[in-house]
Amino acid sequence: MEKGTIIYMGNYELPDKNAAAHRVMNNGKIFTALGYRMVFLGTVKGESFSGIRQSSYNENIYEEAYPLGLKQWVSHIFDTRNIEAVAEKYSDTCLIITYNVPFATYKAVKKAFAKKHIKVAYDCTEWNDYAEGSLPKRLYKKHDEKMIRTKLHKVCDDIIVISSLMEKQYQGKNLLRLPPLVDLEESIWHQERIAHPGTFEFFFAGTVSNKESLDSVVEAFCSLERPDIRLRIIGLTKDAYLKAYSEQQDLAQNDDRLLFMGYVPHEESIRYTLSSDCYIFIREKTRRNDAGFPTKFAESYTCGGSIITTDVSDIRDYEDDDRLLVVDDTLSGTVKSAMLNVLSATFTEKIKELSHSFDYKNYLSETKAWISRIH
């Protein structure tokens, strides 16, 4: 018998369009295993409709249109009618979890459900003050990040966090730390690896963003004078890369060892991760990067290959595994030295086996204890 319904709401694109969707779905599996019915309210981009609609692939997944323009954004931040409409469909709703919603949205949802005696928790995975778009939107994002970082624990008693930095910031509250999780029973982790005999393949998956130092990775790789290595880059085309890093025009344009693949579905990206010899991503040590936890680290660590990355978030916690090489800065010379290291026999002789470290089933007891403290 189910213990009640938990609704996970936020601006994620289900079922698997982004890292946010992967997080809420895998977190949801924990609550399902603990006896709760999980219901989700996500967003749909590129479509315009009012209210909510049931998804075509799951009766417990609902969608609302992603807001466009300032007027829609203001309404989206303060209007709680859609989440209330979902909750009304489930008379046993016992908890709402808001995923990375604006501070004002959390307060509005909490107020809306207070009179119904339904608790509202917060799942926080980022302190991000960056936004694209109009000046009002960018200014609001900076204000909202500060409120989430400094005031969330003053209005919210039950918080799920993604890192130890957040855990420290919100201490004194009912906290649950969940890194990005996976479900190792899914077939996506058991795909046949793609053979590439005679070559050593470095691999990066992502996009150009202010979090990544992909240019350092490319510069370091291109300086290695070895014909038997490749750097596969998923998430952007060569044209997109050269537009973002025009100063590397001569460097990246003519090196046919660079394999730019553009966008591929998540399942295909995981297959390339499983097949690569070394996953690499380099990030500056900033508050934003330390507060989050890289989903790509959890996924690549699960796949069992070597990893080169920087000392951000809680990655040092996994450094006892000798297939992980943590570098101290983002300089291309440092990255090059790390690449030379993993090209040595010490790393290449390792047999790749799936790691269970990030499997959601490892977090059942902690989550059970957390939710027991809510009721």
The upper half-sphere exposure of residue 104, i.e. CA atoms within 13 Å in the direction of its Cβ, equals 11
Which residue in 163, 165, 176, 9 sits closest to 80, CA to CA?
Answer: 9
pLDDT band at 349 (very low <50, low <70, confident <90, very high): low
- Residues in CB range of 232: below 8 A, 6 or more apart: 201, 202, 203, 204, 259, 261, 272, 276
Give CA–CA dist 284/308, Å, rounded.
14
Give CA–CA dist 350/356, Å, rounded.
17
Whether residue 319 is predicted with pLDDT greater than 90 in this model: the reply is: no
All structural domains of the chain: 5-178+360-372 (3.40.50.2000), 187-348 (3.40.50.2000)
Give CA–CA dist 119/4, Å, rounded.
13
pLDDT at 18: 82
pLDDT at 219: 96
pLDDT at 209: 80
Average pLDDT over residues 43-63: 92
Average pLDDT over residues 327-339: 96
Is the entire prediction scored with pTM above 0.75? Answer: yes
Average pLDDT over residues 184-199: 95
Name the average pLDDT for the chain. Answer: 93
Whether residue 1 is predicted with pLDDT greater than 50 in this model: the reply is: no
pLDDT tens digits, residue range 98-150? Answer: 999 999 999 999 999 999 999 999 999 999 998 888 888 889 999 999 999 99
Give the pair of three-digit tokens for residue 84.
């209330």
Among left, alpha and beta (phi > 0; psi -120 to 50; other), residue 12 is beta
pLDDT at 178: 98
Average pLDDT over residues 220-224: 96
Give CA–CA dist 61/52, Å, rounded.
10
Which phi and psi (to 5°) does residue 97 adopt?
-110, 120
- Residues in CB range of 223: below 8 A, 6 or more apart: 332, 336
Average pLDDT over residues 215-244: 95
Peptide bond between residue 102 and the one before it cis (omega within 30 degrees of 0): no
Q: How far is CA 336 from the centre of its chain?
A: 27
Which residue in 301, 297, 305 sits closest to 352, CA to CA?
Answer: 305
Is the model more confident about 251 or about 370?
Answer: 370
Whether residue 229 is predicted with pLDDT greater than 90 in this model: the reply is: yes
Give the pair of three-digit tokens for residue 249.
């025009």
Which residue in 19, 17, 286 sits closest to 128, CA to CA?
Answer: 286
Alpha helices in 79-174 (DSSP H): 81-88, 103-114, 135-155, 164-169
pLDDT band at 211 (very low <50, low <70, confident <90, very high): confident
Give CA–CA dist 86/116, Å, rounded.
14
